[in-house]
A and B are shown apart, each in its own frame.
Chain A
Amino acid sequence: MAAWHLIETWGAAPGFAMGLDEALLRSVGRAPTLRLYSWAPDALSLGYFQRFDDVPAAAAHPNVVRRLTGGGAIHHHAQELTFSVTLDADDPAYRGSVPDSYERAHEAVIHALATLGVASPRMRREEPVGSDLAGTGMCFHESTPQDICWTGPAGALAKGVGTAQRRTAGRILHHGSIKLGPSPLEAEVATAADSAVSIDAQAAGAALRAAFAREFDVELMPTAPDADLLASAQQMAARYSDPGFVHREPRPRR
């Protein structure tokens, strides 16, 4: 059985949260790592190529960072679990196409949610969802067939997990956000609370840890970030909330 590292950083500062993921991504040869974390203070993360002005909620939020991964903006608040997986692109767990890797990871997330008592979590496939909302720039207001959904606050199927990947230099960073309770910035989104499940991020993380071990047939070994990793993370952290990076203007989209 392969061994993965498990790193838990509860209440991570926004820049450090992103810097540690980048440091893990750039650690060629490091064992696959599942990281479980929450944010303090709460923050809004923009997708790698998003324009700041395309996310109306960003202007009013005091803590905005930009992720290395793509997609839309996410509100990381007290009732949310963030996870990341970092590993070599040829690792058996993620080998193959991007959609295939999502299928496997999402099976683990769905299993964890079902274990916690969330009612019928599933990939959207071709079902209509009530959480797709135009003009917010928020990740949870745009869905793809592989996004994980369940019944949301309006009684309709809604997106409850947001995920995105970065692939660079033979390594993969897979970000995920699981909604445990609502945020005013993410109206209509499904949360564990909609299934009458009241749970904090650490307990949800324990379920996710067990589900990843089961799905990928690996042992997850609790691991403290070593000094080199921490130093890299701290060095990289500054960029993520730097105004030049947060407000950068990607070239016009088609």
Chain B
Amino acid sequence: MRPDDRKYLDSHEWAKLEGDLIVVGITDFAVEELSNGNEGDLVYCDLPDIGREVEQGETFGEIESVKAVSDLNAPVGGEIVEVNSDMMEHLETLADDPWKKGWLIKIKPTDASMDHLLAAEAYEQHITADH
């Protein structure tokens, strides 16, 4: 079971409320889907500049593994106020700890509601049904 302290997109991003910010990352499932199971499979991650405004569902970045380039989608709309630049230089963090150290961006949301996102149980059902 994935952490139930956050919500999920069916495209495998997670969103967690911390104070008045929404922290965004990708799930262990997303990392596994992109990888061959080898360290170094994730080769590049392009994240946005601080200050950029994103809409809910908009692509805010891209991640490249040895075999695929995938979009990163914003679970909520708002202003990007922090970017995990350490992670960009150490992509193995995404595989080692996608839930904490592997966070990608923090958004100051225009609307903090996450009702449109999947709860952990629904996300589990989604990835089980699709795969």
Contact = CB atoms under 8 A, between A and B. Distances in A.
Contact of A166 (B33, B68, B130): B68
B84 interface: no
A251 B91 CA distance: 14
Contacts of A251: 46, 88
B64 interface: yes
A49 B69 contact: yes
A99 B70 contact: no
Contact of B69 (A48, A96, A146): A48
B123 to A, nearest CB: 15
Contacts of B66: 71, 144
B131 A95 contact: yes
Contact-residue size bin, chain B (C-beta under 8 Å from the other chain): 20 to 34
Contacts of A48: 62, 64, 69
Contacts of B91: 254
A102 interface: yes
Interface of B: 11, 32-37, 43-44, 46, 59, 62, 64-71, 88-91, 130-131
Interface of A: 48-49, 68-71, 90, 95-99, 102, 144-146, 163-170, 250-251, 253-254
26 contacts: A48-B64, A49-B44, A49-B64, A69-B68, A70-B67, A70-B68, A90-B130, A97-B131, A98-B33, A98-B35, A98-B67, A99-B67, A102-B67, A145-B36, A164-B68, A164-B69, A165-B68, A167-B68, A167-B70, A167-B71, A168-B71, A169-B71, A251-B88, A254-B88, A254-B90, A254-B91
